Structure 1
Amino acid sequence: MKGGVLRILSWNVWAHGHARPGNVSRLITALQPDLVLLQEATSVMDALPQLAGGHYRRITAPERNNGPAAWSPAPFESDEFILPLGKQLDVPIAILRKIALRGALIIHQNGLEIANVHLDHGQFANRRQLRSLLRAYPDLKIIMGDYNALGPVRLPGFHDVGPRRSTHRMYGLAPLRIDRCLVRNMAATGACTFAYGPSDHRPICVDLTDL
């Protein structure tokens, strides 16, 4: 954190794509973030500390080979939280499509609780996952990552400070803004996106200060 500003970089590196530790390391060198949050990271990304130094953790949820990861130049503690499946239109979403559990990575650093999320595609399910996350971690100040949410996300006390442009190309064609940063008792002094590169998501970066 420099001058009271916390810079967080978030990127869904797309498990089926070709984003590699080198791509993330180059962003770290260029942007000098205080924290990097990755979604859909596989074991390939575990080489990141060899390139960028710092501190790193990655988790995977049951039946998945990928999950959220975090990197920081400074030490941090972290928890794994398995997000509930929930229901969609009162029908178990497992009936509607094949799904697997998703995990959130909760970062504890400098007195802050920050959640790195990759939420379900179901528009009822992903909102329920957020509410479940807040019940488990009521002191969260930042929830950032791939929300898979169409339309606004409303959480009491939180506001969306992420970039306003599209961040994802669904099937390589349809532009969507699904990579978000929601905060409470904080303000953004800057928010931007970067080129897609080898992922179908843009990296996003926000600079945050306390109110």
Structure 2
Amino acid sequence: MKVVSWNLLRLTGAAVEDVATLINVQKPDILLMQEATQHIEALPSLVGGHFYRLSWLGRIHGLAVWSPSHFPRPVALSLPASRLPGRLPRRRAQIIQMGEITFANVHLSHGQLLNRRQLARIGAALQGKPSAIIGDYNAVGPVFLPGFADVGPREPTHLSGNVMPVRLDRCLAHRLVCTTADALDFGPSDHRPIRLELRLAESTETAEKTLRIRKDRLKRFYR
């Protein structure tokens, strides 16, 4: 499954026409977006497909997902929030079911302890399903989540202050194999889209069964 994720940079970044161009060029099976405004809701009129946007309550932008194939309406998952005065509204993850794979589209907080707590909340909610947590992590340094592997691209995806390159856009995967992971050109946003090829990992039971079948075939061949 080909997955693309892009932080659009709300009103001053990628417009709906830019997103449509990305879709026409990359042809993803699923496109995850962060900082998507109401303007992005016009996307199906340009490229068809199916689209859902999850607003960030109290803000002009939110999370969005598009796919050429039909999929169930995503579910919103509330995430831990700061208790400090003047804090931002509570963030949510967009939980999407595409066949056997569950995706969590995320735009996590800048606080380095808080965004780790948010990841832990998402990991617990996915409950061992084949899944991927993809989006803007706002995380600096290594990210660890039991049972999940960091399979996203290793190159920087954002220029902090237009000076320092940092890897903010990531993917943690559970029971999935990533065969391709790279970052595309910046385009009109301050984030580079990331592109991944994901497939279901073969379970231990299935792998052992496949190995037995192959051994039996070799035995019959050499008799």
TM-score by length of 1: 0.90
How far the C-alpha of 1:155 sits from its partner, in A, is 0.7
Does the Cα contact within 8 Å between 2:100 and 2:130 map onto a contact in 1?
A: no
Question: Partner of 1:101 in structure 2?
Answer: 90
CA distance in 2, matches of 1:16, 1:44: 9
Structure 1: 5+ residue runs without aligned partners? 1-5, 87-91
The yes-or-no answer on 1:73 pairing with 2:68 is yes
Of 46, 68, 93 in structure 1, the residue corresponding to residue 41 of structure 2 is 46
* Aligned pairs (5 A) from 1:1-211: 6-77=1-72, 78-86=74-82, 92=83, 94-95=84-85, 98-138=87-127, 139=129, 141-211=131-201
CA distance in 2, matches of 1:30, 1:197: 13
CA distance in 2, matches of 1:122, 1:18: 23
Q: Larger strand proportion, structure 1 or 2?
A: 1
Higher relative contact order (Cα pairs below 8 Å, separated by 6+ residues): 1
Amino acid at match of 1:209: R
CA distance in 1, matches of 2:101, 2:183: 24
Structure 1 residue matching 2:112: 3-state secondary structure? coil
Give the count of matched residue pairs: 199
How far the C-alpha of 1:81 sits from its partner, in A, is 1.4
How far the C-alpha of 1:42 sits from its partner, in A, is 0.5
Does the Cα contact within 8 Å between 1:61 and 1:82 map onto a contact in 2?
A: no
Does the Cα contact within 8 Å between 2:130 and 2:200 map onto a contact in 1?
A: no
Does the Cα contact within 8 Å between 1:126 and 1:149 map onto a contact in 2?
A: yes
CA distance in 2, matches of 1:198, 1:102: 25
Alpha-carbon displacement from aligned partner over 1:31-59 (angstroms, at most 9, x marks no partner): 11100000010001111111110000001
Q: CA RMSD in A?
A: 1.3
Question: Partner of 2:207 in structure 1?
Answer: none
Amino acid at match of 1:70: V
Structure with the greater alpha carbon radius of gyration: 2
CA distance in 2, matches of 1:199, 1:131: 28
Percent of aligned positions with the same letter in both sequences? 43
Amino acid at match of 1:60: S
